[in-house]
Structure 1
Amino acid sequence: MYLACALSLIIATSCGANSKKSTTVAENIQTVKAPDFDADSAYQYVNAQVAFGPRVLNTPQHVACGNYLAAKLEEFGAKVTNQYADLLRYDGVILKARNIIGSYKPENKKRVLLFAHWDTRPWADNDPNEQNHHTPILGANDGASGVGVLLEIARLLGQQQPELGVDIIFFDAEDYGAPQFYNGEHKEEYWCLGTQYWARNPHVQGYNARFGILLDMVGGKNATFYKEGYSEKYAKDVNDKVWKKANEMGYGRFFIDKEGSPVTDDHLFINRLAGIPSIDIIPTDEGSELSSFGSFWHTVNDTMDIIDRSTLKAVGQTVLEVIYNEK
């Protein structure tokens, strides 16, 4: 009886010591609680962009939406830089482009880059109905969703900033790759024109960031995000960090821990031209016969009907947790 009690006491004391040690270690590696991402707010920012109509360059709708985006960033406390440029479309048409940059803690050398494109495709060239191929798309998902998530992040940054400086860039003229009905040569560099321009002419001389995260088409219902191929090539550690955080937070049904196909997107030129390791959070729809990005991709059906707050929440909260825990 005495021996049993003594052993129980030793075990209890030992467990208590281990528990205390574990608590101390846990306290030392405790994560920072990021602000709560408001999916309703992000949804409204998506809807506000769509309300302007297609954001096709060289149109009044494009100018008006650009003014709205710059004003929101300024309202949310960012130092705003507008980068205007004349860019050549695949067929030689001059595009009046505008990259919109919002910087937080611009004096901090330790930085993170978050970006999305805000223009919309001028042709619904993937639409099943050939009569729609020359119709501009509304781009609720393809364009507005990534910008909407970043506007909500900007709002939260204005209230509580992380340790690092953050730059949010809305790139223009991303979706101007030659349409499917074009009979000439289709080149990779026809896409992401605003990003290529910024990568060669950054808003701050010698600009650098620890890493970059691109959000593209991040609002679709039942979206699944695989680790995009170029992201794995150029920034595998960033991919791993983001997907691990997403799964820790219970967003594993959105963030699938498998490698997907490489996609020519803004992050590719940030990696190649600017040398900033960057990833692309972009959906892969293995069940769609029309496109791996979903049946509504580059069609007239890319409307608010396909935007889901739960997808916006999963992406937005994950990105917040990553940047607020970056030291």
Structure 2
Amino acid sequence: MSVVFVKKFLGLACVTSVLMSSAFAFEFEQDAALFSVEKIDQAMKRFVKAPHPMASFEQKKYTQELRANLSREGWDVQVQKFKTKIPNTASEKLGGKDKKATPVKEVEGENLIALSKGSDRCLVLIGGHYDTKPYANMKFVGANDGGSSTAAMLELARVVSVLRKAEASNRTVSNDAGRFLDCTVGLAFFDGEEATLADWNDGERLLGVQDNIHGSRAFAANLEKQFDGIAYKGLPIKALLIIDMIGHKEQNLFITRGSNSQLAQKLLAQRSTTKITSVNLLIEDDHLPFAQLGVPFVHIIDWTNLAEWHTANDTLDIISNKNIADFGDLLVRFLKQRR
């Protein structure tokens, strides 16, 4: 074998090795940019470990865990503390035994806001609540109602980080400028969506206090009005997706009334195996404070599988991690579209 031939052979082998390594790396990145059923399962199991209503010790502990997890994925994470008034169930007026307790008390809630910086001056927000409804005589862990959206958002944080790293390394750079993903992506974990009393409007009816969507109201109250729209930290919000109760094994998702039609159509175009439709149904949820400001939003919720809603049966038994993963992949496809 001649020296020249050996050099050519070794050169070809090196090129082949590099190409194979690049192909393997690309394939690995593509797989890593899909939602992991296993990771969703882990997130769900942590969420239902114990009830964690707003202002509880368990909620504050969980907030710190979420913050650490998101920071590990490279997100800029901030805890937004806020004061709010809720019904005081210890008071005699509300059936409690404390004669000195006032019917209304002030508590501190905590929103968790995570940002992944994009190249364009805009913001796409995905939000949902991470508190569980408080019950004195029932262990309510909110697997679907709170847990499913939280798990989806945590996994979205990982996937977006994978996409950011891949594009930074020039291996999967998109030529399609102006995508939602080119904006800064924000994840808003809202505290205190759940009402303290049994019914959503009991606080207002009995005490004149709005007892719901505490965290999203506090967040929206601090947004900025700019010439190019409502903004957070100077970034105009181009899209807001509020997700709630998305993980039922019989998943049937609704895009509710008031949602931005253009954003809704872009989502529906990516639905694949996820059952999701637009319906003329008005539901009160964390999107309301933003709707009042004129922020373009889409509200997504399953409002058909309600047998376990606000009962002790809202546990992992009714959850499909695969359904959550499929929905999460839909969100990723949405983010890759032109805005």
Q: Does 1:111 align with 2:123?
A: yes
Q: Tell me the alpha carbon deviations over residues 242-296 of structure 1, each in whole angstroms, 9 at most, x when there is no partner.
A: 11210xx233xx11x34142110001212213x31111110021xxxxxxx4101
Contact 2:119-2:182 at 8 Å conserved across structures: no
Structure 1 position 110, deviation (Å): 2.0
Contact 1:229-1:261 at 8 Å conserved across structures: yes
Partner of 1:219: 247
Partner of 1:60: 57
Which of 241, 253, 258 is the aligned partner of 2:266?
Answer: 241
Partner of 1:30: none
SS state at 1:166 partner: strand
Structure 1 position 238, deviation (Å): 1.2
Structure 1 position 136, deviation (Å): 4.9
Letter in 2 for 1:271: A
Contact 1:239-1:279 at 8 Å conserved across structures: yes
Which of 21, 42, 61 is the aligned partner of 1:44?
Answer: 42
Partner of 1:129: none
Contact 2:204-2:210 at 8 Å conserved across structures: no
Q: Does 1:169 align with 2:172?
A: no
Which of 283, 292, 295 is the aligned partner of 1:263?
Answer: 283
Matches within 5 A, 1:28-107: 35-51=33-49, 53-90=50-87, 92-105=104-117
Structure 1 position 134, deviation (Å): 4.3
Larger CA deviation: 294-303 vs 161-170: 161-170
Partner of 2:159: 156
CA distance in 1, matches of 2:303, 2:280: 7
Identity of aligned residues (%): 23
Contact 2:203-2:210 at 8 Å conserved across structures: no
Structure 1 position 177, deviation (Å): 5.7
Structure 1 position 200, deviation (Å): 0.7
SS state at 1:312 partner: helix
Contact 2:118-2:183 at 8 Å conserved across structures: no
Contact 1:79-1:102 at 8 Å conserved across structures: yes
Partner of 1:250: 273
Contact 1:188-1:264 at 8 Å conserved across structures: no
Q: Does 1:280 align with 2:303?
A: no
Which of 308, 327, 332 is the aligned partner of 1:320?
Answer: 332
Distance change >3 Å, CA 62–CA 185, structure 1 → 2: same
Letter in 2 for 1:261: L
Larger CA deviation: 59-68 vs 134-143: 134-143
Structure 1 position 57, deviation (Å): 2.2
Structure 1 position 76, deviation (Å): 0.8
Letter in 1 for 2:265: D
Letter in 1 for 2:301: I
Structure 1 position 318, deviation (Å): 0.6
Contact 1:142-1:297 at 8 Å conserved across structures: yes
Q: Tell me the alpha carbon deviations over residues 71-94 of structure 1, each in whole angstroms, 9 at most, x when there is no partner.
A: 111011100111011111145222
Partner of 1:4: none
TM-score scaled to structure 2, two decimals? 0.73
Structure 1 position 241, deviation (Å): 1.4
SS state at 2:205 partner: coil
Letter in 2 for 1:215: I
Q: Which sections of structure 1, spanning at least 5 residues, go unmatched?
A: 1-32, 124-132, 286-292
Structure 1 position 188, deviation (Å): 9.6
CA distance in 1, matches of 2:256, 2:238: 19
Distance change >3 Å, CA 189–CA 319, structure 1 → 2: farther
SS state at 1:196 partner: helix
SS state at 2:187 partner: strand
Distance change >3 Å, CA 318–CA 58, structure 1 → 2: same
Which protein is richer in strand relative to its size?
2
Larger CA deviation: 61-70 vs 178-187: 178-187
Count of aligned residue pairs for this structure pair: 269
Partner of 2:12: none
CA distance in 2, matches of 1:189, 1:237: 31
C-alpha RMSD of matched pairs (Å): 2.4
CA distance in 1, matches of 2:143, 2:120: 34
Q: Does 1:139 align with 2:142?
A: yes
Contact 2:237-2:295 at 8 Å conserved across structures: yes
Distance change >3 Å, CA 164–CA 184, structure 1 → 2: closer
Distance change >3 Å, CA 176–CA 136, structure 1 → 2: farther
SS state at 1:154 partner: helix
Distance change >3 Å, CA 183–CA 116, structure 1 → 2: closer
Distance change >3 Å, CA 185–CA 105, structure 1 → 2: same
CA distance in 1, matches of 2:197, 2:262: 33
